[in-house]
Amino acid sequence: MPSVKNPNGPSKNRLIARAASLRKQRQRESAQGKLEKIHKITKEDLARGARPGLLPNSGPRKALGKKAQRKLEKKLGYAIRRKMEREGLSKMEVEKVEEMMGIGKTSKKSAETEETTPAIKEVEMDFS
């Protein structure tokens, strides 16, 4: 009887493709483990799009938008103010500290005008 390969088994090409896909999978898992160890990126964050230098797109560690950052800064400022008042600092001292930290009641527009006004005065002084 001639030696014929079993027709029900996987073909040679299929075996090669399976081995290649397993090799790629092992390589990806190894790289993922390195990311977790070196860059401290968790599997959950990796699944949400985090990479070295990039935050995930969703979840608890996602990057905050500008509006949310401003709101958070305001809340932190109020918390600092309450803490200082609890410690017994006077209103004047609290206002000085707020002014230094930039968490006073200045709005975005007033901050912009404060920045542009001195520059305009300097230009006017240069021409006269």
CA dihedral 80, 81, 84, 88 (to 10 degrees): -160
Alpha helices in 7-102 (DSSP H): 12-39, 43-47, 66-87, 91-101
Confidence class of residue 88 from pLDDT cuts 50, 70 and 90?
Answer: confident
What average pLDDT does range 41-50 have in this prediction?
82
Alpha-carbon distance of 34 to 32, in angstroms, equals 5
Q: pTM to 2 decimals?
A: 0.38
Alpha-carbon distance of 75 to 82, in angstroms, equals 11
Confidence class of residue 121 from pLDDT cuts 50, 70 and 90?
Answer: very low
Asked if residue 128 has pLDDT above 50, the reply is: no
Residue, of 108 and 67, whose pLDDT is higher: 67
Asked if residue 103 has pLDDT above 70, the reply is: no
What average pLDDT does range 76-90 have in this prediction?
82
By the 8 A CB rule, do 44 and 55 touch?
no
